[in-house]
Structure 1
Amino acid sequence: MSWAGPFQQPIGKSPSQPDTSEAAVVFDPLIPTLLCLSHLRWSFVYQRPQHLMSRFAREYNVLFFEEPVPTDEAEPWLEVRPDEEGVQILVPRLPAGLEAQRTQAALRTLLDTYLERLEVEDLVLWYYTPMSLGFTRHLQPSTVVYDCMDELSAFDGAPPDLLEHERELLERADLVFTGGHSLWEVKRELHGNVHAFPSSVDIAHFATARAFQNNPPDQAGIGRPRLGFYGVIDERFDVALLDQVAALRPDWQFVMIGPVVKIDPASLPRRPNIHFLGGKTYDELPQYLAGWNVALMPFALNESTRFISPTKTPEYLAGGCPVVSTPITDVVRSYGKSGVVLIADTPEKFVAACEKALDLAADRPAFLEHADRVLGDMSWDRTQAQMKEQIECLR
């Protein structure tokens, strides 16, 4: 194994700029390099990309290339940050206000320079965003993977040419994975090698919530019963539903964990029994989950949620909480008849489902046994192994 570092000067930076890549970066030229091109930042919310890439890093050199960050500096440069899970995080820093064509050229130069520095020969390209084609279509990988975890074109603020880029990516891709069965049904009409890999779970991580834990300080003073949600609070979250349910049951406490993104924080309901605690790390989530009676998925029913397969569904169950969700297609399909995930589509029905979930939670041994049967052998390790098998069949 060779060491491409420590990098005393990040790619593209002038000697006058401070060094941010003092840690040594491990690179093994004898194994393939997986370049993951993501619209999500590694340090934002720990979800599908982080689960998969941290596991691929056990067998591949994994480079996680994020979208650019604007800087006041005059020249583009690439921040290289070794992650503790063996993934190299690459963050392009570009001068603010750079126009589109020059942005693509700068990204291509930064990426090419880094790949040349590592002397990468065996390359796998893994796309989460088709928009990355603008600076990667010239590369010559052994395999191209498109992991379509969401229908990005349905999200607020989606680039107008995203669908055009996706059509090109589907032509180039050797292999397409989808984040759920609903997406698979759509993408299989557009590509001949599509495989559904719904959201999975690290059961051991979330099962720690089943044991008694001291409540985190910002949750300890909140009364019971506690009904909780964690995740990104954005256009997929049904703000009105939460407000109405909280109004119907002022004696219940609603704990909301996660960053507020793309919606006005002023639009969030403000009631004495609704508690917004902000974002938490992946390692902290079981501590909060341990203090809940019921876990919630109050998703809006709109274009942005039409194809989602929420990771939190099996995570909540592994943590020992019954779940109440709005009728998201993939949730209904996978868990609607499970008996541990209850579905409701109006505020009144949501309250009734939560009351039933509280009854389930009261008989904890029976609920945990039932939840474990539903989870079965589900795991991110299994999902990653099956994906790797599909890739290796093409290499």
Structure 2
Amino acid sequence: MKLLKNTHLHSHYDMIVFCHLRWDFVYQRPQHLISRLSKNLKILMVEEPIGRADHKELEGLAVSESIHILRPTVDNMNELGAFLKKTLKTQVFSFGWFYSAAFVDVLDYLDFGVIVYDCMDELSLFKGASPELISQEKYLLSAADVVFTGGKSLYEAKKEKHHNVYCFPSSVDQNHFEQNDKNAELPEDIQSIPTPIVGYYGVIDERIDLDLLEMSALKMPEVSFVMIGPICKIGEEDLPKAKNIFYLGMKTYEELPTYLNAFDFAMMPFALNDSTKFISPTKTLEYMCAKKPIISTKIKDVVRDYSDCINLIEDENDFKQAILQPKSNFEDLYNEILERTSWDITASKMYKIIKEIA
């Protein structure tokens, strides 16, 4: 990404996206969809404010000709609407696309032909969530023309609250993740880790069952447990420490297939708590592309969609059994699932819906 001069942010945009995640954080649903929608639309993605103290200048970044990122230099969300009204050349846009209801106050300052709520998580249940999120979402749902959800459980929750809800579970870029060059040199930080490797990549936060990870590592000292990703909302002191647990930090989207290739098993050791009640993990399909046997705790959307091809576990004893006896015929079942999904298809269907509303 390159820095934009302030004047370049004044150009015309078809869509303003409001997102609680940074574009250069873990590459997931927003980046996949926005990059594809940008083939037809010029898009400004507004991230959460970065504050005035250390940022005197407006922070604008260009991902491409048709995607610009704005990191507002205000101290809190309450100031964001007025800031955008002053900063942007116009206050009327064809589409407003929200990933978080925390941005909803901007509707008092900007006008959108179509308002979209792409609900990828139940953010109000996350650790440290603002108590205002529930009332903010109620306001956003009343204003939205259409709601998309990132999984079936979210769809069931939102269809009770809005008249026009579509379920679009997270999809996959199959070409990216099925890179199977077994001769490719492994990155140094995973080269020396003993096999077999059971690996995870993604955000490491309150959604991870750290007790399960620790107990499984103790039960299987001959197995290496590799955790790849940034640590958020928990401290390093909270992480289980064992000789066979390895934390490799955050990797880029481009690097992930190479690390995934090094896994013998791919895991989703999610805790069953409020923050995981509605999740539909994007990584499930990515793991499938690499044809890795998958071990997961019993997340609702995973159980009902993938129980025939994924080893579902409750404790360290189940975990050990899943490694000793992975599902048979899982690759054929993966292929059937992957044939039905792609981010290109998902983005195309979404675009068609919002164009028809417009």
Give TM class, smaller chain. over 0.9
TM-score (norm 1): 0.85
Aligned ranges 1:194-233 → 2 under 5 Å: 194-209=165-180, 211-233=182-204
Asked whether the 8 Å contact 2:124–2:133 carries over to 1, the reply is yes
Match of 1:342 in 2: 311
User: Which of 1 and 2 has higher RCO (CA within 8 Å, sep 6+)?
Assistant: 2
Which has the larger Rg?
1
Aligned to 2:50: 69
Residue of structure 1 in register with 2:164 after alignment:
193
SS at match of 2:117: strand
Change over 3 Å in CA distance of 1:60–1:108 after alignment to 2: same
Asked if 2 retains the 8 angstrom alpha-carbon contact of 1:323 and 1:342, the reply is: yes
1:125 corresponds to 2:96: yes
- How much does 1:367 deviate? 4.9
AA in 2 matched with 1:294:
F
Which segments of 5 or more consecutive residues in structure 1 lack a partner in the other structure?
1-5, 12-23, 361-365
Helix, strand or coil: the match of 2:111?
coil
Q: Residue by residue, what CA displacement relative to the aligned partner does 1:344-377 show, whole Å, maximum 9, x if unpaired?
A: 11211122112223x75xxxxx654442122223
Q: Which residue pairs with 1:80 in the alignment?
A: 60
* Aligned equivalents of 1:370, 1:274: Cα separation in 2: 30
Separation (CA, whole Å) in 2 of partners of 1:128 and 1:25: 21
Q: Are residue 38 (structure 1) and residue 19 (structure 2) matched?
A: yes
Partner of 1:104: 78
Whether the 8 Å contact between 1:151 and 1:304 is mirrored in structure 2 is yes
- 1:302 aligned residue (253, 273, 276): 273
User: How many Å apart are 1:71 and its aligned residue?
Assistant: 3.7
Cα drift, residue 139 of structure 1: 1.8
For each residue in 1:24-56, what CA deviation from the matched residue of structure 2 results, as whole angstroms up to 9, or x when unmatched? 7796x5xx6111101111111100000000001
In structure 1, give the amino acid aligned to 2:248. Answer: L
Alignment of 1:274-285 (within 5 A): 274-285=245-256
The 2-side partners of 1:85 and 1:274 are apart by: 42
Task: Note if contact 1:210-1:320 (Cα within 8 Å) is conserved in structure 2.
Answer: no
Go from structure 1 to structure 2 and tell me whether the alpha carbon gap of 1:113 and 1:47 turns closer, same or farther (over 3 Å shift). Answer: same
Partner SS for 2:51: strand
Q: Secondary structure at the match of 2:109?
A: coil
Shift of 1:320: 1.8
Gaps of 5+ in 2: none
Is the partner of 2:199 in helix, strand or coil?
A: strand
Moved more, 347-356 or 185-194: 347-356
Q: Is the contact made by 2:9 and 2:88 (CA closer than 8 Å) also made in structure 1? A: no
What are the Cα deviations for residues 39-94 of structure 1, in whole angstroms up to 9, with x where unaligned?
1111111000000000011100111100011242596x521110148410100123
CA separation of 1:191/1:257 partners in 2, compared to 1, >3 Å: closer, same or farther?
same
- 2:280 & 2:181 partners in 1: Cα distance? 24
CA distance in 1, matches of 2:155, 2:149: 6
Matched, 1:115 2:88: yes
Distance 2:65 2:20 in 1: 20
Please, which of 342, 350, 358 is the counterpart of residue 387 of structure 1? 350
Query: Sequence identity, in percent?
Result: 41
Deviations 1:234-276 (A, max 9, x none): 0000000000111111001111100111011111111111110
Query: Retained in 2: the 8 A contact 1:152–1:158?
Result: yes
Counterpart residue number, 1:169: 140
Match of 2:324 among 313, 338, 355: 355
Contact 2:81 2:110 (8 Å CA) reproduced: no
C-alpha distance in structure 2 between counterparts of 1:315 and 1:114, whole Å? 39
